[in-house]
Amino acid sequence: MIFVELLCRYPYVTGTSVIGIKYKDGILMAADMGGSYGSTLRYKSVERMKPIGKHSLLGASGEISDFQELLRYLDELILYDNMWDDGNSLGPKEVHSYLTRVMYNRRNKFNPLWNSLVLGGVKKGQKYLGTVVSMIGVHFEDNHVATGFGNHLARPILRDEWHENLSFEDGVKLLEKCMLVLLYRDRSAINKLQIAKITEEGTTISPPYSLKTFWGFSAFKNPTLGAEGSW
Amino acid sequence: MDLNAAHSMGTTIIGVTYDGGVILGADSRTSTGLYVANRASDKITQLTDNVYVCRSGSAADSQIVSDYVRYFLHQHTIQLGQPATVKVAANLVRLISYNNKNMLETGLIVGGWDKYEGGKIYGIPLGGTIIEQPFAIGGSGSSYLYGFFDQAWREGMTKDEAEQLVVKAVSLAIARDGASGGVVRTVIINSEGVTRNFYPGDTLPRWHEELEPQNSLLDILNTSSPEPMSIQ
C-alpha cells in the first residue's frame, strides 16, 4: 500500500486562509503574511498572493515551498504563452484549468503539491473566481471562495453579506471583517495582511498592514467571577 | 546510549545582515544521540569566495547538499566569468532541498555579499522554501531566540554591533539548548572579503545561574577564608 507520506510527506512551512470575492470591477483577495512552522509563527513577511500574467491573481495556503514551485511552473507557462506573440494571452479560466490539471495529476501519482489555491481574474470584462480546494485537485468557481479556516469562519459571513456589484470600499470592508474573525479565531493567523485587487486594468497588491482588534467587552474583564477556575 | 544514531547537528545557526555585509554565526556541537561526537565542528561552510552556508539538522544531509552546491557553483562561476551572486547560490540550495524533500532533513542559512545586491541572507528551512530575510535563525537552539531577536534586532547596525548580537544570541541558545554547545564561530562577509572569528566559552558572558569557571575548589578555598567550607 502506498501512502502519501512516503512520497510526499508532511508540510513544513505553511500559510493559512486565503479569501477571494467578486466585486463590481473584478476580484478582491485577502491573505495574511504568515508562514507557520508547526505551531511556531516563524515567518511574518511571506507574500501569499502573486499576479500571474496580465489577467490573473493567485493566492495560496498550505506548504510555501510547493507554492514557490507552482509559481515557477506558472512563470514558464506565461512565458511560453508570451513567446507566441500572437496578441492572445492566458486568462484566469485557463490558468485555473492548468492549475487544476497539475494538482490532480500530482495527486494521482501520490506526490501532491500541498496547497489550496484561489485563482481570480478579469478578462474582456468577464470576472472569474475559482478555487482548487486541496492537494486532491477538487475545484469549483463561485462568487466568494476561501481556503482552510476561511471556509468555516469567513464563508458564512460572505454568504450573508456578499452581493453583486459591491463597491471597492464595501468589498475591502467585507474582507477585513472576515480577516478580523480569522485573526481572533485561527491560531495560525498573524496580524499582518495584504489585500489584492485585480480588474481589467491590472493587479494591485496593497502594502502590508495590521488591523485593530477589540477587547473591550465587559465580560472579558472578569470572566471567571463566580466560577473560579473556569475559563 | 545509541552510538549508532545518525550524526545530527542539533545546532544554533544565525545569519544577520548589517550596513555593508552579513555576519553568519553558529555553535560547534555535533551529537550522535546523547553523545557529543564533535565539540568543535565548523558548521559555517564555504560555497564560493563570497557565499557561505550555515548548516543544521542531519550532518550528512547538510554536508552533501553543500558539496553539490559548491560543485555546481564552481562550474557556474567559470561559465559566468565572475563571482556567483548570493541569490543564485541560495536558489541552488533550494533546488536540491526542494527536489529531495522526502529524503533530506536539513535546514540551511545562505549568506554572502555580491556587488549587485550587497549583503543578503536567505533562509532555507525543511521542505525547501526559500525566504530572503534581514536576519535568519535556525536549528534546535533557535527556538530560544525568537523572543530575543524580536526585541534586540535593529535595521542598519554596524559590523561590530551585528557581530556582538550574533555572538550573544548563539551563547544564549547554547545556555538552554542541550543540542547546542562548544564554541561560537562567526564569519563576516562584505566587499572587503571574508573574516573568520572564534569565541571559546571563556570569552562569552555568564547568563542566569551560570558561574565563573574555576580551576579548582582549592583556589576558592585559598583566596577566601573561612566561609566556603563552614560547618552547617
For residue A25, how many other CB atoms are within 10 A of its CB?
Answer: 18
Going by their DSSP bridges, the two strands A56-63 and A49-52 should be labelled as antiparallel
Flag whether pLDDT at B180 surpasses 60.
yes
Flag whether pLDDT at B5 surpasses 90.
no
Mutant choice from A65, A67, A68, A71 vs B, greatest count of B C-beta within 10 A: A65
Q: pLDDT tens-digit profile of B9-32?
A: 689 999 999 999 999 999 999 988
pLDDT (mean) for B45-61: 96
Provide, rounded to the nearest whole percent, the portion of chain B with pLDDT above 90.
78
For residue B75, how many other CB atoms are within 10 A of its CB?
Answer: 9
Please indicate whether, in this complex, the C-beta atoms of B126 and A64 are within 8 angstroms of each other. no
pLDDT (mean) for B120-149: 97
For residue B20, how many other CB atoms are within 10 A of its CB?
Answer: 18
**CA–CA–CA angle A188, B97, A62 (5° rounding):** 25
Please indicate whether, in this complex, the C-beta atoms of A12 and B130 are within 8 angstroms of each other. no
**CB-based contact (8 Å) between B115 and chain A?**
no
Instruction: Specify the residue for cell string 579548582.
Output: B216
pLDDT given at position B195: 97
pLDDT given at position B168: 97
Q: What is the pTM of this model?
A: 0.90
Mean of per-residue pLDDT scores for chain B: 93
pLDDT given at position A224: 87
For residue A149, how many other CB atoms are within 10 A of its CB?
Answer: 18
User: A68 exposed, middle or buried (CB, 10 Å; 0-12, 13-18, 19+)?
Assistant: buried
**CB-based contact (8 Å) between B133 and chain A?**
yes
Residues of B that are catalytic:
11
Rounded-to-integer distance, Cα B19 and Cα B14, Å: 17
What is the chain A residue with the closest CA to B129? A65
Flag whether pLDDT at B103 surpasses 60.
yes
Averaged pLDDT, groups of 10, chain A, 231 residues long: 59 97 97 95 96 96 97 97 96 96 95 96 95 93 96 97 96 97 95 96 96 92 86 79
Q: pLDDT tens-digit profile of B162-178?
A: 999 999 999 999 999 99
Distance from CA of A72 to the nearest CA of B (A): 12
Rounded-to-integer distance, Cα B203 and Cα A162, Å: 63
For residue B2, how many other CB atoms are within 10 A of its CB?
Answer: 9
Please indicate whether, in this complex, the C-beta atoms of A65 and B133 are within 8 angstroms of each other. no
> At A75, which amino acid appears?
D
pLDDT given at position A150: 96
> What residues have CB less than 8 Å from B18, skipping those under 6 apart?
B119, B156, B157, B158, B159, B161, B162
What is the chain B residue with the closest CA to A14? B129
DSSP-assigned letter for residue A206: P
pLDDT given at position B32: 84
Sign of torsion over alpha carbons B134, B137, B143, B148: negative
Identify which of A7, A12, A46 has the shortest CB distance to residue B127: A12
Give the distance from CA A110 to its chain's centroid.
Answer: 24
pLDDT given at position B15: 98
Q: How many CA atoms lie within 13 A of B163 on its CB side?
A: 18
Identify which of B127, B143, B146 has the shortest CB distance to residue A65: B127
CA distances for A49 relative to A30, A58, A79, A205, B219, angstroms:
8, 5, 19, 8, 64
Confidence band of B230 (pLDDT split at 50, 70, 90): low
**CB-based contact (8 Å) between A73 and chain B?**
no
pLDDT given at position A231: 79
For residue B219, how many other CB atoms are within 10 A of its CB?
Answer: 10
User: A218 exposed, middle or buried (CB, 10 Å; 0-12, 13-18, 19+)?
Assistant: exposed
Sign of torsion over alpha carbons A153, A155, A160, A163: positive
> At A197, which amino acid appears?
K
Beta carbons of B28 and B39 less than 8 angstroms apart: yes
> At A169, which amino acid appears?
E
Flag whether pLDDT at B7 surpasses 80.
no
ipTM of model over 0.90:
no
Measured in degrees and rounded to the nearest 5, phi and psi for residue B40 equal -135, 45
Confidence band of B227 (pLDDT split at 50, 70, 90): low
Sign of torsion over alpha carbons A214, A217, A220, A221: positive
The β-bridge partners of B187 are B24, B196
Rounded-to-integer distance, Cα A47 and Cα A35, Å: 9
Q: pLDDT tens-digit profile of B183-201?
A: 999 999 999 999 999 999 8
